[in-house]
Structure 1
């Protein structure tokens, strides 16, 4: 099951709209960053309160030097961010048209309005791509399957980040926490009622840079890749079982241990370390980087009675934004 989008349920015979709408949401990786690219499992958490909405419509404008597509992001994105996003959108749109057998057509205007901060490891690029894919489908009156949506998002993600594992493309449309392994997903069993607190460090990370840094480290140290993937797999599998069995304290320990694995690989920053220390000293059961690293966000596990203090201490340590994701509020009826 996925969160609703305006394109779901649209029949092939339905007339195309003048404006198409698509939506998606943020995600956080609980464990499995980087190792998932090498076949290890990853655990992903949807963040439904952080959403992005795409609007797509036909325009009377004539094609310009940029072709037959105009792309606008609300807020104050950097020029580099807009350029990168535009390149990915053009690739996604071309692939969408090819899959749907659409040729020609008037100028297309796409507006993206979202609350997901960019470059923080929260899946903003994947969520944007998914929202746009469903907006395009809604615009032309086509039904977009989850399989096709995934392929379209991956087209854009591979362009933005290099080799994308696919976990973001899956998680930004999921309504419950997921286990992701080798391109396949299954819902996680949830036996815990704790809260995940996501804190924005205010530092932009770079997944591509982090991947290249890690890969360079693997090349320089024989056996390092195998050791990293083995440890990551063990921690992720143990965390999956802890989550299912309601062992919150043990789950928190796995989070912190995975953070140490990423920190040892050079993927943390002074700001992230300060946030980890603040969360743990405030009583958090565990804390770690979430996402590619080199900036971005931290995720901490806390019991409900600890959440207020953990959040306060995170802001004191430099967090610019925080979000609380209660496990109880997600669909925890996985088989």
Structure 2
């Protein structure tokens, strides 16, 4: 039996613009995990077990996600075997237990794929480099979302907040004593539909360039504020980025209500996170305000909340 683990992530700033070459800032959420186990089945003649693979999911997983993962798992397994030289054709059983909410914008599909990749490496006794693991997760992400930027594939294995751009990641310098309160709206988003809607919003000459340029300025200002410990300035960039995504039609009334509630309760900034059209929002909050912000978000309709320290994590899951 091989075991693999990965965790959730939240995009602090830069979602969507990162696909067009801008930078994105991502934060690991180690308390939300995906754990995969992979082993050889006693028999291969199982109903629906095409290509010598069976997939089972437990935890926070929807029927739609099971279908998506089942489809991408075959490509992922084939790519893993090709890259690592595995020729074994025995029937594989893969089981994933996840606590990352699907459609929440927290990297559920990437975390699941990374956990599976690491479980296969463990099962077949293969040493994977970070680059190998990233490339394999990207294989599955491109199946799930179309053209994926790579930020999710990198962040679900990171131990610290990252700046990601054009396939390269670097740890962020952090001088703020703050928290991120993550709230699930209870309504799953759709990355593919959000990408389509954003492209449709680029009407007129230079519209795409203006979106990417403004996003890049907000990200750059946030990086400097985060490093210098200017928490209020960092929060303002989050709120402005939410307005940018909202103007493109990527937010929802429920998300907007949660953003307003977080700001009214004392958060320094708040925004939708991830693909959009539902899912989760994040609120940059000082520790002394976290309880009030969390309570207000639940009063406003948040299905779940999590509190994530904005600092270097102690290690990988």
Q: With structure 2 as the length reference, what TM-score do the two structures score?
A: 0.96
Equivalences for residues 209-224 of structure 1 within 5 A: 209-218=193-202, 220-224=203-207
CA distance in 1, matches of 2:283, 2:88: 49
Does residue 1:325 correspond to 2:308, yes or no? Answer: yes
Structure 1 residue 45, shift from structure 2 partner: 0.2
Does residue 1:57 correspond to 2:39, yes or no? Answer: yes
Structure 1 residue 263, shift from structure 2 partner: 0.2
Kindly indicate whether the alpha-carbon contact (under 8 Å) linking 2:60 and 2:100 is maintained by their aligned counterparts in 1: no
Kindly indicate whether the alpha-carbon contact (under 8 Å) linking 1:22 and 1:131 is maintained by their aligned counterparts in 2: yes
Structure 1 residue 213, shift from structure 2 partner: 0.7
Structure 1 residue 81, shift from structure 2 partner: 1.9
Does residue 1:155 correspond to 2:151, yes or no? Answer: no
Root-mean-square deviation (Å): 1.3
Of the structure 1 ranges 245-254 and 99-108, higher mean CA displacement relative to structure 2 is found in: 99-108
**Superposed CA offset, 1:119-147 (max 9, x none):** 10000100000000000000011111110
Equivalences for residues 169-318 of structure 1 within 5 A: 169-218=153-202, 220-318=203-301
Kindly indicate whether the alpha-carbon contact (under 8 Å) linking 2:255 and 2:281 is maintained by their aligned counterparts in 1: yes
Other structure's SS at 1:21 match: strand
Kindly indicate whether the alpha-carbon contact (under 8 Å) linking 1:96 and 1:133 is maintained by their aligned counterparts in 2: yes
Aligned to 2:3: 21
Which of residues 33, 58, 66 is equivalent to 2:15?
33
CA distance in 2, matches of 1:104, 1:173: 27
CA distance in 2, matches of 1:75, 1:291: 21
**Superposed CA offset, 1:17-63 (max 9, x none):** xx000000000000000000000000000001111100000001224
CA distance in 2, matches of 1:236, 1:299: 16
Structure 1 residue 105, shift from structure 2 partner: 2.2
CA distance in 2, matches of 1:75, 1:221: 45
Kindly indicate whether the alpha-carbon contact (under 8 Å) linking 1:126 and 1:169 is maintained by their aligned counterparts in 2: yes
Structure 1 residue 114, shift from structure 2 partner: 1.1
Q: With structure 1 as the length reference, what TM-score do the two structures score?
A: 0.91
Change (3 A) 1:100 1:208: same
CA distance in 2, matches of 1:323, 1:329: 17
Kindly indicate whether the alpha-carbon contact (under 8 Å) linking 1:268 and 1:289 is maintained by their aligned counterparts in 2: yes
Aligned to 2:52: 68
Structure 1 residue 222, shift from structure 2 partner: 2.2
Kindly indicate whether the alpha-carbon contact (under 8 Å) linking 1:60 and 1:106 is maintained by their aligned counterparts in 2: no
CA distance in 2, matches of 1:134, 1:116: 17
Kindly indicate whether the alpha-carbon contact (under 8 Å) linking 1:23 and 1:54 is maintained by their aligned counterparts in 2: yes
Structure 1 residue 221, shift from structure 2 partner: 2.7
Change (3 A) 1:329 1:166: closer
CA distance in 2, matches of 1:76, 1:247: 36
Change (3 A) 1:162 1:92: same
**Superposed CA offset, 1:199-233 (max 9, x none):** 00001001111001101111x33221011000000
Structure 1 stretches (4+) deviating beyond 4 angstroms?
none
Other structure's SS at 1:50 match: strand
Structure 1 residue 328, shift from structure 2 partner: 4.2
Change (3 A) 1:30 1:76: closer
Of the structure 1 ranges 319-328 and 33-42, higher mean CA displacement relative to structure 2 is found in: 319-328
Name structure 1 gaps, 5 residues minimum.
Answer: 1-18
